[in-house]
């Protein structure tokens, strides 16, 4: 294991382990002592990494408040407050989102359905820009305080960086900022279509964040709202079993695939 202080590869494992059972090492070059979590976002946490990740995933995945998640783990022998859950979410949710965004780069299709929905932050309505492809898979999402030309451009620029390629056509509602934003960011060759009925797929997909957002009764700050919405969409897409609309998947297959993806997601973040 390389030393996180001097990046030397001459570290030697020690017999003594941490209280949580993680291996400790001593660097022969800089003489620093460190453990397996040193230099990671999980350093100095008083709980095992797999428990912290499971708390954050449950918080993003299910319709539970901070206190609900803390009570669920209290029944399993782990005692921490709802503020601890909030701190873990702020620390680990961006990490989850970043890894999942990199993992799905280049996968969305050539037809994007783009729309925005409303999210209440500090008693005010903000705009959550979201896009899916023709098969219902996530393209990108972005929370904005305004619904204007600059916000539309920033969203398409972010989506282009995330996906890695421009679409062949974009379907939106009739908001006047979209035509110019599509031309200037995605290019003039991209076909732009707007029709209320063509974008029904996007409207129906908003139910995911809406159903998760209502039990929370709004967000306390814009950064926390942006962080949660981004991580929620990424986790929801990662656990989406169907790759195409109306794809038949049995209940047994869904449960097995969910279990496999949960283990893979925990391993992905811990290794990184």
Express each pLDDT in 115-129 by its tens digit: 888 888 988 999 999
Both 121 and 225 in one domain: the answer is yes
By CB atoms closer than 10 A (0-12, 13-18, 19+), residue 237 is: buried
Q: Which residue has the tokens 């428990």?
A: 51
By CB atoms closer than 10 A (0-12, 13-18, 19+), residue 190 is: middle
Both 22 and 132 in one domain: the answer is no
Both 129 and 177 in one domain: the answer is yes
Both 206 and 268 in one domain: the answer is no
Q: How confident is the model at residue 70 (pLDDT cuts 50, 70, 90)?
A: very high
Q: Which residue has the tokens 């609309």?
A: 245
Both 168 and 196 in one domain: the answer is yes
Both 266 and 230 in one domain: the answer is no
Question: Rounded distance, CA 64 to CA 58, Å?
Answer: 8
Both 165 and 218 in one domain: the answer is yes
Indicate whether 186 pLDDT > 90: yes
Tokens of 253: 């297959």
Reported pTM:
0.86
Number of domains in the chain: 3
Both 144 and 163 in one domain: the answer is yes
Q: Where are the beta strands (DSSP E) in 42-137?
A: 111-121, 124-133
Q: Could you tell me if 189 and 101 are in contact, meaning their C-beta atoms sit under 8 angstroms apart?
A: no
Element (H, E) at 169: strand 169-172
CA-to-CA dists, residue 107 to 66, 111, 170, 205, angstroms? 33, 12, 16, 18
Both 201 and 161 in one domain: the answer is yes
Residues whose CB is less than 8 angstroms from the CB of residue 46 and which lie 6 or more positions away in sequence, other chains included: 20
Both 124 and 208 in one domain: the answer is yes
Looking at residue 211, which CATH number applies to its domain?
Answer: 3.30.420.10
Tokens of 161: 């960086």
Question: Rounded distance, CA 58 to CA 73, Å?
Answer: 10
Express each pLDDT in 139-178 by its tens digit: 999 999 999 999 999 999 999 999 989 999 999 988 889 9
- Output b/e per residue, 45-63; b: 16+ Cβ within 10 A: bebebebbbbbbbebbbee
Give 226 or 267, the one with higher predicted confidence. 226
Q: Could you tell me if 214 and 36 are in contact, meaning their C-beta atoms sit under 8 angstroms apart?
A: no
Both 126 and 25 in one domain: the answer is no
Handedness of CA 95, 170, 202, 155 (dihedral sign): positive
Express each pLDDT in 190-248 by its tens digit: 999 887 666 666 777 778 888 887 777 778 899 999 999 999 999 999 998 888 877 88
Task: Please give the radius of gyration of the chain, using alpha carbons only, rounded to the nearest integer.
Answer: 21
Phi, psi of 33 (to 5 degrees): -95, 140
Domain span at 255 = 43-103+241-272
- Output b/e per residue, 108-145; b: 16+ Cβ within 10 A: bbebbbbbbbebebeeeebbbbbbbbbebbbbbbbbbe
């Amino acid at each position: 294991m390389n030393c996180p202080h001097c990046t030397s590869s001459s570290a030697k494992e020690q017999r003594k382990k941490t209280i949580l059972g993680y291996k400790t090492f001593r660097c022969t070059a800089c003489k620093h002592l460190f453990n397996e979590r040193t230099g990671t976002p999980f350093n100095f946490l008083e709980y095992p990494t797999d428990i912290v990740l499971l708390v954050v995933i449950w918080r993003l995945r299910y319709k539970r408040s901070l206190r609900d998640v803390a009570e669920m783990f209290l029944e399993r022998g782990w005692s921490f407050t709802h503020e601890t859950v909030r701190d873990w979410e702020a620390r680990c949710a961006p990490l989850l989102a970043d890894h999942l965004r990199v993992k799905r780069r280049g996968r969305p299709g050539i037809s994007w359905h783009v729309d925005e929905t409303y999210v209440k932050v500090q008693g005010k309505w903000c705009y959550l820009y979201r896009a899916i492809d023709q098969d219902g898979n996530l393209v990108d999402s972005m929370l904005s305080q305004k619904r204007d030309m600059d916000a539309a451009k920033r969203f398409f620029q972010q989506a282009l960086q995330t996906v890695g390629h421009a679409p062949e056509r974009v379907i939106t509602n009739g908001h006047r900022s979209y035509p110019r934003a599509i031309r200037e960011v995605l290019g003039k060759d991209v076909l732009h279509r707007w029709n209320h009925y063509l974008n029904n797929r996007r409207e129906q997909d908003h139910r995911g964040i809406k159903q998760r957002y209502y039990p929370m009764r709004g967000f306390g700050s814009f950064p926390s709202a942006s962080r949660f919405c981004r991580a929620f969409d990424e986790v929801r897409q990662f656990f989406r079993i169907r790759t195409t609309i109306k794809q038949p998947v049995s209940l047994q297959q869904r449960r097995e695939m969910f279990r496999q993806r949960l283990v893979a997601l925990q391993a992905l973040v811990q290794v990184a």
